[in-house]
Chain A
Amino acid sequence: MAPLLTMHGIDKRFAGIPALRGAELLVERGEVHALIGQNGAGKSSMIKILTGYHRKDAGEILFDGDAVEFSSPQEAQRAGISTIYQEINLVPYRSVTENICLGREKRRFGLLDWSAMHAEARALLARFNIDVDVHRSLMVYPTAVQQMVAIARAIGFEAKLVVMDEPTSSLDEREVEVLFDVIRQLKASGVSVIFVSHKLDELYAVCDRVTVMRDGRTVQVAPMDQLSRLDLVTSMLGRELTQVLQEPRDAPLSEGDGCKPVLKVQNLAVGRKVRDVSFEVHSGEIVGLAGLLGAGRTESALAVYGAERPDSGTITFAGRENAIAAPSDAIRAGIGFCSEDRKLEGIIPDMSVRENLTLALMPQLARRGIVDEVRSREIVDRFIKRLGIRCSGPEQRIRELSGGNQQKVLLARWLCMNPKLLILDEPTRGIDVGAKAEILSLIRELAGQGLGVLMISSELEEVVEAASRIFVLRDGHTVAELTGDAVTEQTVMDAMAHGHDSAREAAHV
């Protein structure tokens, strides 16, 4: 039988810059097909062309035997292609039912039949084992549930092909398992799935074949089980992977050597998510904050940074207690903060690399409110070189850079201030493997020079590798402090999910 989808010789340019050059993608009926590649390799462009969000410049697309060129996601959906996007694309104010049924409403006598739609929404969500009141606004539910709703919506269209662009980025392990069950059900019923993910484990768990993209081209297509992890990574990067992924860990800082912590947080409580959190960071060490989604990691960090107001507890930074009430105080005291959401809370897309890099430093770069352009240029040039930021120059707009390079600019935004403490919230999210390794080794180097680093990451492997000490949060409480040899994926995981408590928490989500 002919394949369900053939994309052949796809070309696409954005503002003259090629994003796809003769890319290929072939998906059989009833298979789960992995699409992988570094950021900027062209996966997203490929998917957006398939789903009619962008127009291709050249090439052909055969879907279910017909040559197609969708001009809108709506057309693609009608033809049987449902898509789940990386960022949850739903309407927060509207009810769960509406979010699932919008676009294929049930009608009676020409008017909407609400009870039938509620019933359908409930039936679809039942497959995911989650308990949701379909009448309520979507925004009252946590991100993971919203992601499930997005998936339920896509499946509800009875598509022939379901495209999932990093669907697991906001799901915990149990939820990922549920999703995989659903994918297997889909497959069993003859539906094909295109699965995009940066997480190799997931690909091996659920995918049949893989297409690897690099620089806008398709570089490899193979059955999943015939490629080793190293093969995959090598073909994504296009070069031999050295031991970047496995550097020896720094020796843990010796305890009780009299050095005072630069940051000490005691019994912190913030809103509902943070109840009783304590941790500390010394100069020159990388401290990890581990925990499941919703454990209160980001909120604790924001409180340290003055972006959230603590209800109780003490935050001592550089010897001063509770002296930080706003981000500007934190910055003046010597704290830098890289948010987990680069696009929303990090970059200023229309500004240049230079302006983004010097944003926090600017008041110091100025005399009587006037920016010293010469010094600003010097500093920017130095950091572009030092961090290896790939851009056409300091005046290039930051939105044109890849995710990894944007992240480096944001790191530089803080490094140029000579901070005492750097808080990194998911510093490698959405960044390709190569840039990831670079950023991690940079962080390690900085800590070696005496910077205190507080790192939040959902990728256990990464925290365990980088941090010399890990505080584990669960349900807004600090439940464990692990140092030295006690820092292993196993111990962290054990602490994160402790017996009955974890079962309760999982059920709660």
Chain B
Amino acid sequence: MDTISLKLFQGIGRYGVLLALLALILFGWLRYDNFLGAFNVLSVLRYNSMFALVALGMCFVIITGGIDLSVGSTAALSSVAAALLSPYGVLPGLLGGLAAGLAVGACNALIITRLNILPFITTLATMLAASGCALLLAENQSVSVSYESGFTELGQGDFLGFPIPAWIALAAYLLGSLVLNLTSFGRTVLAIGGNEDAARLMGLPANKVKALVYLASGGLSGLAGVILAAQFGAGQPIEGVGWELFAIAAVVVGGTLLTGGVGSVGSTLAGVLLLGLIFNILNFENGLGWISLSAYWQSVIRGAFLLLVVAIQARLSMRTEEAA
């Protein structure tokens, strides 16, 4: 393959999303008065930190060549678990939600690595199961969190003037980036996605690494669920529908190949923010009063955006193939 176009391809995959994000921010800053005002920035970050956490787990899973459809309902289950435990304090709520997420992740890991069932099907099943468990736990309704224990701080509080959920997401992304680039675990994740059989024959602990990746995805979804409960003051058994596909879209927009083997943590974050900002800008646009687009346009625009990104990616990779 031609090196220059390969580099170009990888470069655009890596930085294209950042450029697009900057362009979108610039557009918003020029067009709307309070776009970069503290209130708007912080609320965008606060709201999207949940998706960021879910997308981070998804990013690792997709790099191994897998997929995790259960993240949304796992988050819902965790939000219920966290809400139920919130009267006992911040820590029990946090740990309860996390544990619920890890439990679903562990189920995924076991089924995928022990029973050798495709991730798509496995996580489709656990998605249903987690959703069922959430409804059972919550008895088919939202569960209010306790406002006395300080649990809601996890979603609504600030630390050093910055939303706590955003701190959590930031820490997770720093850790994720470190793990992917500077540990042998991270390199094995990339190798498995590039060619799982080869990785196995190379003597890499493919099953163990895959199991850990699904466990991590479950844990991160659990964390997102905790933030969900804390932010909206209730455990929501029917939330999380479509989160998995949103997360996949964010990861793909970030330039991670769905076939696995190539991916970046930072670009995933940019992908999340990009998709999140589309909603934000839509609100501002309506606020200007020139046009009035219903909220339903949000998904249409997101879909169109995803189409645009993958079409560009496809074009580029076809170019590189032809050059080879």
Contact = CB atoms under 8 A, between A and B. Distances in A.
Q: Do A and B bind each other?
A: yes
Interface of A: 53, 72-74, 76-78, 83, 85, 88-94, 98, 102-103, 105, 107, 110-112, 136-137, 139-140, 153
13 contacts: A85-B201, A89-B198, A89-B201, A90-B198, A92-B195, A102-B191, A102-B199, A103-B188, A103-B202, A111-B182, A112-B184, A112-B187, A140-B1
B190 interface: yes
B261 A94 contact: yes
Interface string B193-232: 0110111111111000000000000000000000000000
A74 B203 contact: yes
Given A91-B261, A92-B194, A102 B187 contact: yes
Contact of A103 (B183, B190, B195, B203): B203
Contact of A98 (B178, B187, B197, B200): B187
B203 A91 contact: no
Contacts of A139: 1
Contacts of B21: none
Interface string B240-263: 000000000000000000000110
A91 B201 contact: no
A46 to B, nearest CB: 16
B195 A90 contact: yes
B135 interface: no
A74 B182 contact: no
A153 B202 contact: yes
Contacts of B205: 72, 74
A111 B205 CA distance: 18
A91 B199 contact: yes
A137 B201 contact: no
Contacts of B188: 102-103
B294 interface: no
A374 B199 CA distance: 46
The 7 nearest A-B residue pairs measured at CB: A91-B194, A89-B198, A77-B203, A74-B203, A111-B182, A105-B184, A93-B261
B183 A112 contact: yes
Contact of A94 (B1, B190, B197): B190
B198 A103 contact: no
Contact of A93 (B182, B200, B201, B262): B262
B11 to A, nearest CB: 13
Contact of B182 (A112, A136, A137): A112
Interface in B1-44: 1, 3, 6
B89 to A, nearest CB: 33
Given A103-B203, A140-B6, A91 B198 contact: yes
A103 B203 CA distance: 7
B194 A94 contact: yes
B65 to A, nearest CB: 11
Nearest to A73: B203
Question: Which of A77, A102, A112 has the largest count of B CB atoms less than 10 A from its CB?
Answer: A102
Contacts, number: 78
B75 to A, nearest CB: 31
Given A85-B201, A89-B197, A102-B191, 18 more contacts: A72-B203, A73-B201, A83-B201, A88-B198, A89-B201, A90-B195, A90-B198, A91-B190, A94-B190, A94-B261, A102-B188, A103-B188, A103-B204, A112-B181, A112-B182, A112-B183, A112-B184, A139-B1
Contacts of B261: 91-94
B194 A93 contact: yes
A449 B317 CA distance: 46
B199 A111 contact: no
A74 B262 CA distance: 24
Contacts of A107: 184
A53 B203 contact: no
B191 A111 contact: no
A112 B187 CA distance: 10
Nearest to A107: B184
Contacts of A90: 195, 198, 202
Nearest to A110: B183
Question: Which of A76, A77, A91 has the largest count of B CB atoms less than 10 A from its CB?
Answer: A91
Contact of B3 (A78, A98, A103, A136): A136
A136 B190 CA distance: 15
A153 B181 CA distance: 21
A83 B204 CA distance: 13
A76 B194 contact: no
Contacts of B198: 88-91
A93 B203 CA distance: 18
A73 B202 contact: yes
A50 to B, nearest CB: 13
B191 A91 contact: yes
Nearest to A92: B194
Contacts of A111: 178, 182-183
Nearest to B260: A93
B191 A98 contact: yes
Contacts of A103: 184, 188, 202-204
Nearest to B259: A93
A231 to B, nearest CB: 34
Contacts of B195: 89-92
Contacts of A112: 181-184, 187
B250 to A, nearest CB: 21
A137 B182 CA distance: 18
Contacts of A53: 201
Nearest to B178: A111
B187 A105 contact: yes
Question: Which of A94, A107, A112 has the largest count of B CB atoms less than 10 A from its CB?
Answer: A94
B110 to A, nearest CB: 18
A94 B202 CA distance: 14
A89 B202 contact: yes
Contacts of A73: 200-203
A93 B262 CA distance: 7
A148 to B, nearest CB: 16
Contacts of B262: 93
Contacts of A140: 1, 3, 6
A276 to B, nearest CB: 20
Nearest to A137: B6
Interface in B271-293: none
Nearest to A82: B203
Nearest to A101: B187
Interface string B52-92: 00000000000000000000000000000000000000000
A400 to B, nearest CB: 20
A72 B206 CA distance: 10
Nearest to A113: B182
B190 A76 contact: no
Contact of B202 (A93, A102, A105): A102
A139 B262 CA distance: 13
Nearest to A90: B198
Contacts of B204: 74, 102-103
